[in-house]
Amino acid sequence: GQQLNQSPQSMFIQEGEDVSMNCTSSSIFNTWLWYKQEPGEGPVLLIALYKAGELTSNGRLTAQFGITRKDSFLNISASIPSDVGIYFCAGQLGNNRKLIWGLGTSLAVNP
Amino acid sequence: EAGVVQSPRYKIIEKKQPVAFWCNPISGHNTLYWYLQNLGQGPELLIRYENEEAVDDSQLPKDRFSAERLKGVDSTLKIQPAELGDSAVYLCASSLGTATLNEQFFGPGTRLTVL
């Protein structure tokens, strides 16, 4: 099925570093959602974006809805070991509630 | 507020056996989703319910998979008979279900292993 291009696929960083990941698509989305999934758990919603250009923060996390509505970015500042997990982007086309998912970015943080 | 509850958390069965998964969504969420997640992949939608009605089951393999949400709250997903390729994590999610607010909240999933 249709999927988003999410990059990078994986990241291994030192504690305290900033992290940036993004998702792109050839389609225009009206909603972008960012989730984090830890081993053995379901995805947890981090940030929801509903307007082009919107910039939203949740603690050390900041996400942006791209102006073209075809991309979104997630930044994590001052990473800590508990940031470890897989981060997924998901986009919604039109008013269809079906979400299109990226393949995830696996984040590892070295203390 | 309680989150989405799923049971069992783990299930190991032999191929050709039946299996069922149960989900209780967040109170007040009228939209319920069942997803399948393979290792290294994002969730893939199997079926979406609006209250009791299955409004999108296009990705559900209907020859062996079935689902129900009889009273518009709890839901059950069944596989009969299970095949080796069905080994995956089955996730349930719920949302308030408005067209412009589609924040989906997930349960912990059921990890199915078919031997």
* Cβ-based contacts of B42 with chain A (< 8 Å): 3, 88, 90, 101-104
Strand A31-37, strand A19-24: pairing: unpaired
The pLDDT value recorded for residue A2 is 60
Tokens read off for B90: 């089955």
Using left for φ > 0, alpha for ψ between -120 and 50, and beta otherwise, residue B109 falls in left
Distance, in Å, from the CA atom of B70 to the CA atom of B114, rounded to the nearest integer, reads 27
The pLDDT value recorded for residue B105 is 93
Q: CA-based angle A55:A60:A65, to the nearest 5?
A: 20
Q: Lowest-pLDDT range, A44-48, A89-93, B79-83, B100-104?
A: B100-104
Distance, in Å, from the CA atom of A87 to the CA atom of A83, rounded to the nearest integer, reads 10
Q: What is the mean pLDDT of residues B76-93?
A: 97
A95 has a chain B CB within 8 A of its CB: yes
Residue from A10, A26, A11 nearest A71 by CA: A26
Q: What is the mean pLDDT of residues B13-28?
A: 96
The pLDDT value recorded for residue B96 is 87
Dump pLDDT digits (tens) for B54-72. Answer: 999 989 999 999 999 988 8
Query: From edge to edge, which strands make up the β-sheet containing A61-65?
Result: A5-7, A19-24, A71-76, A61-65, A55-58
Residue B1 has pLDDT above 70, yes or no: no
Q: Please indicate whether, in this complex, the C-beta atoms of A97 and B97 are within 8 angstroms of each other.
A: yes
Mutation pick from B102, B106, B110, B111 vs chain A, by most beta carbons of A within 10 Å, is B102
The pLDDT value recorded for residue A93 is 82
A9 vs chain B: nearest CA distance in angstroms?
Answer: 10
Rg of the Cα atoms in chain A: 13
| Percent with pLDDT over 70 in chain B | 95
User: How confident is the prediction for chain B on average, in pLDDT?
Assistant: 92
The pLDDT value recorded for residue B2 is 81
* Cβ-based contacts of B32 with chain A (< 8 Å): none
The answer to whether the CB of B32 falls within 8 A of the CB of B22 is: no
Q: Please indicate whether, in this complex, the C-beta atoms of A33 and B104 are within 8 angstroms of each other.
A: yes
Distance, in Å, from the CA atom of B81 to the CA atom of B50, rounded to the nearest integer, reads 27
Q: Lowest-pLDDT range, A67-76, B17-26, B99-108?
A: B99-108
Residue B101 has pLDDT above 70, yes or no: no
Tokens read off for B2: 């309680």
Nearest to B108 among A33, A42, A92 (CB): A42
DSSP B101: B
| Count of A-B CB contacts under 8 Å | 61
Residue B100 has pLDDT above 70, yes or no: no
Per-block mean pLDDT, blocks of 10 residues, chain A (111 long)? 84 96 93 94 94 95 96 97 96 80 95 89
